[in-house]
Every structure is written in C-alpha cells, then in structure tokens.
C-alpha cells in the first residue's frame, strides 16, 4: 500500500473507532471532545505528509541548479550525459543525491537517458520550475544542440528564480506576523465578548423580554435539533457548558468562527509567504490548535460563563 493511502486510511479508522466509543459512552461532552480529536487525527497526518513533501521538493529545487551546473562542466569536458551523471553521484546534493544515484543505477541497467529523465521528471512533477527546465534539457538533447550551454542557461535561470523567491520571502515576513496578530487579536476580542459582555447583557433586568437594552438575549437554538444547533450543543458540552445555558450558543458560535478564521488565515499566510497553500497548513494547524487550547484552558479554569 502506498504511503499516501496509509496516511489517509489508518487515521480514518482510528477516528471512526474514537467516535463509535463516544457514541457507546453516551456522554455528549465526551463525544464532542472525541469528534474534535478525531478531526485532528484525520487531517493532521495528511497535512504533515503534504508539507514534508513540499519541504523535500523545495530542497530538491535548491540543489538542482548545482547538479545542472556540474553536468554542464562534465559535458563541456567531452563526457556523455550518462557519464556526467555517474560523476555527479560522487558529489553531495542533499536530498537530491539519492535521486541522482537512482538515475545512475537506471542508466547502468541500460535504460535510455531520455527515459531516465522522464522518470525523474515524473517524480518531481509537482515542481513547475524543475518540470519546465527538464523540458528544455530534453529538447536540447533530442535536437543535438549545445548541451553545455543549455545546461548553463538552465542553472542560471533557476538561480535567478530562487533568489527572487528568497527576496520575496524576506519582504513578506512582516505581513505574516500581521496575519498572526489579526488572528490572536480577534481571538482575544471573542473571549472578552463571551466572558464579559454576554453575562453583562444576560444580567440586565427583563433582558429576555427585550427590556433595559431594548433587545432579547436568548439561545436561538433552544428547542431546535437541526444544524448547526446540534453542533453548537456538542461544542458547548465539550467545554463543560450545559446545552440549556444561554451562553452555550454564543461560546460555540465564537469558537466556530475562530476555527474557520484560523484555517483560512493560515492558508492565506502560506500562499503569501511561501507561494503554496500546502505550506499554509502549518499556519492553519498552529492557529487552530492555539484557539482550541486557549478555549479548553479557559473552560477548565472556569473563565467561560455557564
């Protein structure tokens, strides 16, 4: 079984087992906690897998210009491309070294160079930069052009692109910090609204009939079992707030909004900082875990209203 399928199937089975255990226990609060844990168990390993693959691909991209430059030097000295790749196996290209050795092994088994290049490109097809450069190398090799000059041009182009990406990354760091600031500021505001303003409004005389403040403060989900009321009831129970309490709806509402905001801001932060939504999953996970941990801590110390 492929690693990707294992990462999807195994956590999903564990999550289903946890949810079934919660249903068997019959405690709404425990079931809510198990559902949240199950979601994290299901999503987190896949995101970690995709992000680790993203980091691996970036490491390959960083070393690929060095490999191409060395191949150009070897080709300029009169070596064929298979011979140049064999010489390249002696150098250290970090994560790329293993792939170079695999290319050399295939060539030693009699696999044509273009076929080896195709297999290498298929494994790195997620990298648009390497894919485009491999097309150029392939076309130059097939047409019998000046291979050393082509390889030199490819190496220089990739170095320029990587330098531009590094410069952009350094420029957007302050924007990434701003995104985190916006999220935690909203988190603080939500906590203060739930803990200060909700009890304040609830304590107003006649508030339930729209008295002193001119509007009613009730639980909109009271007596309702449809979505999202059933979800909000489970979230409130998860934090130890009875579903019948007026504050249960508002705690669940703000918690859900913060989770959604954390997921979206994290993805935007990754796209802004590293040019990839997959890279944003780490920011999303940090924000979501932070929000969940803060709310859970506040519930345990009795800071949330009941």
Q: Above 60 in pLDDT, residue 255? A: yes
Q: Looking at per-residue confidence, does 295 or 245 come out higher? A: 295
Cβ atoms < 10 Å from Cβ of 51 = 18
Q: Work out the number of other CB atoms within 10 angstroms of the CB of residue 296.
A: 16
Structure confidence at residue 244 as a pLDDT band (50, 70, 90): low
Supply 190's token pair: 């939500």
> Buried b vs exposed e over 63-77: b needs ≥16 C-beta within 10 Å?
bbbbbbbbbbbbbee
Domain ranges of the chain: 1-166, 172-306
Going by the DSSP 8-state scheme, the letter that residue 120 receives in this structure is H
- Kindly state the tokens that stand for 86: 């064999």
- Per residue in 94-115, pLDDT tens? 889 999 999 999 988 988 888 9
Supply the pLDDT for residue 76: 86
| Tokens linked to 34 | 């198990």
Within a 10 A sphere around the Cβ of 274, how many other Cβ atoms?
21
Indicate if the pLDDT at residue 92 is higher than 70: yes
pLDDT digits (tens, 9 = 90+) for 258-303: 988 888 888 888 887 777 777 788 888 888 888 888 888 888 887 7
What number is the average pLDDT over the span 84-91? 89
pLDDT score for 28: 63
Other beta carbons within 10 angstroms of residue 233's beta carbon come to 23
Neighbours of 176 (CB within 10 A): 17
The answer, as to whether pTM is greater than 0.75, is no
The band of 19, judged by pLDDT with boundaries at 50, 70 and 90, is confident
Is residue 249 within 8 A of residue 236, CB to CB? The reply is yes
Secondary structure of residue 194 in the 3-state scheme: helix
DSSP for 50-117, please give it. HHHHHHHHHHHHHHHHHHHHHHHHHHHTT--HHHHHHHHTTS--TTHHHHHHHHHHHHHTT--HHHHH
Q: Give mean pLDDT, residues 246-254.
A: 79
How confident is the model at residue 29, as a pLDDT?
60
Tell me: pLDDT of 26 over 50: yes
Q: 226 vs 10, which has greater pLDDT? A: 10
Q: In the numeric block, which tokens belong to residue 269?
A: 């932060």
Chain centre distance of CA 117 = 30
CA–CA gap between residue 141 and residue 120 (Å, rounded)? 16
At 288 the pLDDT is: 87
* Per-residue pLDDT at 217: 58
Provide the mean pLDDT of the chain.
81
How confident is the model at residue 166, as a pLDDT? 76
């Amino acid at each position: 079984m492929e690693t990707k399928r294992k990462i999807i199937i195994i956590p999903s089975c564990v999550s289903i087992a946890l949810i079934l255990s919660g249903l068997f226990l019959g405690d709404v609060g425990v079931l809510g906690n198990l559902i949240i844990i199950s979601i994290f168990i299901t999503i987190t390993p896949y995101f970690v897998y995709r992000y680790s693959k993203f980091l691996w691909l970036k490491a390959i991209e960083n070393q690929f210009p060095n490999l191409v430059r060395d191949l150009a030097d070897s080709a300029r000295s009169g070596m064929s491309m298979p011979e140049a790749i064999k010489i390249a196996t002696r150098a250290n290209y970090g994560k790329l070294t293993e792939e170079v050795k695999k290319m050399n092994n295939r060539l030693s088994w009699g696999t044509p160079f273009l076929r080896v290049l195709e297999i290498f490109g298929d494994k790195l097809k997620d990298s648009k930069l390497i894919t485009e450069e491999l097309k150029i190398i392939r076309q130059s090799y097939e047409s019998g052009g000046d291979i050393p000059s082509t390889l030199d041009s490819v190496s220089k182009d990739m170095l320029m692109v990587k330098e531009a990406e590094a410069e952009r990354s350094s420029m957007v760091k302050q924007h990434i910090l701003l995104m985190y600031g916006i999220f935690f500021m909203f988190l603080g505001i939500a906590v203060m609204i739930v803990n200060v303003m909700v009890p304040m409004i609830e304590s107003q005389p006649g508030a339930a009939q729209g008295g002193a403040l001119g509007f009613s403060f009730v639980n909109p989900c009271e007596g309702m079992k449809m979505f999202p009321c059933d979800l909000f009831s489970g979230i409130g129970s998860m934090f130890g707030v009875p579903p019948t309490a007026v504050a249960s709806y508002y705690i669940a509402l703000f918690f859900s909004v913060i989770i959604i905001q954390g997921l979206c801001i994290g993805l935007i932060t990754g796209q802004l900082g590293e040019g990839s939504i997959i890279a944003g999953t780490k920011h999303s996970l940090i924000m979501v875990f932070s929000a969940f941990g803060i709310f859970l801590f506040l519930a345990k110390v009795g800071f949330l209203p009941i």
